[in-house]
Chain A
Amino acid sequence: MTADESALRELRSSVREFLEDKSPEEAVRKLMESEPRFDPAVWAQAADQLRLPGLALPEEYGGDGFGMVELGVVLEESGRALWCAPLFATVVLAAQALLAAGDAAACAQHLPGIAAGRTTATLAVAEDSGSWDPAMVSARAVPAGNGRWKLRGRKSFVVDGTTADLILVVARTVAGPSLFAVDRMATGLTAEPMETLDATRAMARLTFDAVPATLVGAEGAGGRIMARVLDTASTGLAAEQAGGARRCLETSVDHARVRHQFGRPIGSFQAVKHKCADMLVQVELAEAASREAARLADDESEGFPVASAVAHACCSRAYMVAAMENIQVHGGIGFTWEHPAHLYFRRAKSSQLLFGGPAVYHERLLDRLGI
């Protein structure tokens, strides 16, 4: 199902209104220093009133059956507001991993809870190197009889890792990297928060000491699943980045109009004007790239993997440029803790590096292009 332009506009404005109300800057600042780093009441409202967690999940699992285009609108708004919520980990990482695994039983077990906002979830792939390449995974799973498995190893950079109810883990078996589901209450699992550059996105280090786990999808299918998940997840991340970049541009332009120096608004100086124009160029490219990737994902087009890689690289750069220049346009005030500019700067850098960073996503693009 695809919403038309006016339905998308409506979706955008209701999400924006909701976030302006529930996630103003003061709320973000309060949450980024608390545990859990989101407000369960607000998350419940997002599920009940706006049905956000289930928006892009299939109807058979209790979702509304929309796609990446609609989810992209929500993610743009969420990135714009720096919304502290389990949205990205649950809907973009975990739910997409379940769908990509093509495991109907696992989907039927977990997705309805996710869609209803009752279950939060995450995906644990990277270890201490930070690589999302399943070939780099060293955590191991061994059979424990009756189709059950036990996990050993350590995962780092797990988004919402201390709070997610369901943790999907990529671990190695004799057949190769495979995907497993772990309950957060499972024995042998410990989670400690990691100190993060971007305090609005909580991350944890998880230790698995013979933790009971369920195989999701085929044994050894982890590489194929992760390729698909990374395409979808980086498209989702790109939308978030495009939203954040647009917000930085708007803040800069507003400031450049009112701040006076040498008797004129600083926006009338060409050095500032051109900075803003450069930001606009980046933001326009970012929106075009991320929305096009989302569209191709929904069309199940063969161009999607390339478009997703383009969106990831393009939006990563755009957000970083916009976040840096936003501080520059604001001058000294932009460098203060009190000003929100650094929150965007932190989010921009940390998003840019989340799945490995420029060297990795450049190679991913070339790989998707067959170069």
Chain B
Amino acid sequence: MRQDMQDFAAEVRRFLDAHVAKTPDRTALTWGEGDDSMAYFSSLPPEEEREQVRRAREWQRIRHENGFGWITGPQEYGGRGLTPVHDLLYDAIESEYDVADTGVLGVVGLGMIGPTILAHAQSPVKDRWLPAMYRGDAIACQLFSEPGAGSDLASVATRAVRGSGGEWVLNGQKVWTSVAQHSQIGLALTRTNPEAPKHRGITAFLVPMDAPGVEVRPLRQMTGGADFNEVFLTDVRVPDDHRLGEVDGGWTVALTTLMNERATVGSEGAGPVAAALSPDRLSALMRATWTWDDRALRARLAELLVDALATEHLNARALRKLRSGVSPGAEMSVSKLMYGQNLTRAAHFVTDALGPRAIADTGQWGTYAWTELLLATPALRILGGTEEIMKNILAERVLGLPKEPATTAAKEVRP
């Protein structure tokens, strides 16, 4: 590692040592001790969830005050102006510490929307929102999906039309919007030109979530909780300076977000996710469930670990490429696919080892808790681009296979 990286790492450790405790060593796992939660999505009661959001904001504020709030961001917006490698190094070191979970701010807002605002927004919006986001004051959500536009995102039908004062008036319905209930702003894709081919008639806006006409309704997920929402936009007025990119040029803006989405999903290695793929945890579970000698389960465990460990190697390879200034090729997309598949298989492996203890709660530590992960896994094959869409991308962009023949979907959007 180069000297400046070593200095940076030392600075990160000094900061973290001064503010938080280290996480207990995972290799020292004792079955039956500690937290056995396997929740991927939160399903906390509202007060506890508000408390969690407060802690996330608090930790983000402390990071920001110490120069780690936005490591890759430009200094004029409160960033540190360092490289993605510094950012990854920070994450790696921080994962050794017991810090508040900042997913509510980070995954969508800081990971995806922030970079999009930086790349495409007008100055007033950048000045107003970027420092606020990275200070932990503002949470952002992604208002892309609609009932009629999921994988086929360019089919968005939410309309934006010019009002008399030059502002824009938005009408439509968004769906599956994660963290909208906590958000101050949302990045919305809208249709501004129904005559144009579907990718060319879209415009992106940053919508203040407290604007009149914005209504967030929780959607209950199959996990029982409600992390995502429907968002109804009724005559919502947005000033023109809240437009990102050109009028009708919103698809370019969306691509920036989607690129960052793929990089973000699949890079979360901590928490229950790490436990689910930890050889120590899984072997301890086999002992606890008396399945240690089950040959069929052992073979499945080996298959599972082969993929989990090979995926780690793939990520390490991507990281090394990044470090030497080469942009990774297929690794990110492959990694995202494998992330969903590895966790899905881990959840099924564990619940099969548990047997009936996964169908009703006996109160034993580390047993029924796994159903929380099990129930989250279907989402991992859908969010951020379904498995099928990711495979299309790999086949067409990486392998250069021909595109599918064009469809007529664009014409279905009525004026």
Contact A369 B305 (CB under 8 A): yes
- Interface: A144 (CB within 8 A): no
Bound-complex Cα distance A313 to B302 (A): 9
* Interface set, chain B 297-321, CB cutoff 8 A to A: 298-299, 301-303, 305-307, 309-311, 313-314, 316-317
Q: Between A and B, how many residue pairs show CB distances below 8 Å?
A: 124
Binds B, one of A180-188, A210-218, A279-287: A279-287
Bound-complex Cα distance A281 to B314 (A): 10
Contact A362 B314 (CB under 8 A): no
Binds B, one of A108-116, A227-235, A267-275: A267-275
Bound-complex Cα distance A95 to B400 (A): 41
Task: Evaluate whether A292 and B317 lie within 8 angstroms (CB atoms) in the complex, with A280-B334, A314-B310 already known.
Answer: yes
* Interface set, chain B 378-415, CB cutoff 8 A to A: 388, 390-392, 394-396, 398-405
Contact A273 B401 (CB under 8 A): yes
**Across the interface, which residues of A come within 8 angstroms of B324, CB to CB?**
5
Bound-complex Cα distance A359 to B317 (A): 28
- Interface: B330 (CB within 8 A): yes
Task: Evaluate whether A280 and B330 lie within 8 angstroms (CB atoms) in the complex, with A264-B402, A270-B392, A285-B314 already known.
Answer: yes
- Interface: B331 (CB within 8 A): yes
- Interface: B337 (CB within 8 A): yes
Prevailing SS type, chain B contact patch: helix
**Across the interface, which residues of B come within 8 angstroms of A284, CB to CB?**
314, 330-331, 334
Determine the interface band of chain A, counting residues with CB < 8 A from chain B: 35 or more
- Which A residue sits closest to B306, measured CB to CB? A313
- Interface: B279 (CB within 8 A): yes
Interface 1/0s, chain A 358-371, versus B by CB < 8 A?
11011101100111
- Interface: A89 (CB within 8 A): no
- Interface: A276 (CB within 8 A): yes
Bound-complex Cα distance A366 to B283 (A): 9
Task: Evaluate whether A289 and B388 lie within 8 angstroms (CB atoms) in the complex, with A268-B403, A277-B395 already known.
Answer: no
- Interface: B275 (CB within 8 A): no
- Interface: B338 (CB within 8 A): yes
- Interface: A80 (CB within 8 A): no
**Across the interface, which residues of A come within 8 angstroms of B311, CB to CB?**
285
- Which A residue sits closest to B398, measured CB to CB? A280
Determine the interface band of chain B, counting residues with CB < 8 A from chain A: 35 or more
- Interface: A307 (CB within 8 A): yes
Contact of A307 among B279, B313, B405 (CB under 8 A): B313
- Interface: A265 (CB within 8 A): yes
- Interface: A278 (CB within 8 A): yes
Contact A273 B392 (CB under 8 A): yes
* Interface set, chain A 324-371, CB cutoff 8 A to B: 358-359, 361-363, 365-366, 369-371
**Across the interface, which residues of A come within 8 angstroms of B307, CB to CB?**
285, 314
Residue of A273, A284, A292 ringed by the most chain B CB atoms within 10 A: A284
Minimum CB–CB distance for A55 against chain B, Å: 22
- Interface: A288 (CB within 8 A): yes
Residue of A276, A277, A362 ringed by the most chain B CB atoms within 10 A: A277
Contact A363 B401 (CB under 8 A): no
Contact A267 B331 (CB under 8 A): no
- Which A residue sits closest to B394, measured CB to CB? A277
Given contacts A257-B401, A366-B301, 11 further A-B contacts (CB under 8 A): A249-B399, A268-B401, A270-B388, A273-B395, A280-B330, A280-B394, A284-B330, A306-B309, A310-B306, A317-B306, A362-B303
11 CB-based A-B contacts, threshold 8 Å: A264-B405, A273-B396, A276-B395, A281-B338, A284-B331, A292-B313, A307-B313, A310-B313, A314-B307, A362-B303, A369-B305
Interface of A toward B, CB cutoff 8 Å: 5, 249, 253, 256-257, 264-265, 267-268, 270, 272-274, 276-278, 280-281, 284-286, 288-289, 291-292, 306-307, 310-311, 313-314, 317, 358-359, 361-363, 365-366, 369-371
CB-CB nearest 7 A-B residue pairs: A362-B302, A277-B391, A267-B401, A292-B313, A288-B314, A273-B395, A371-B283
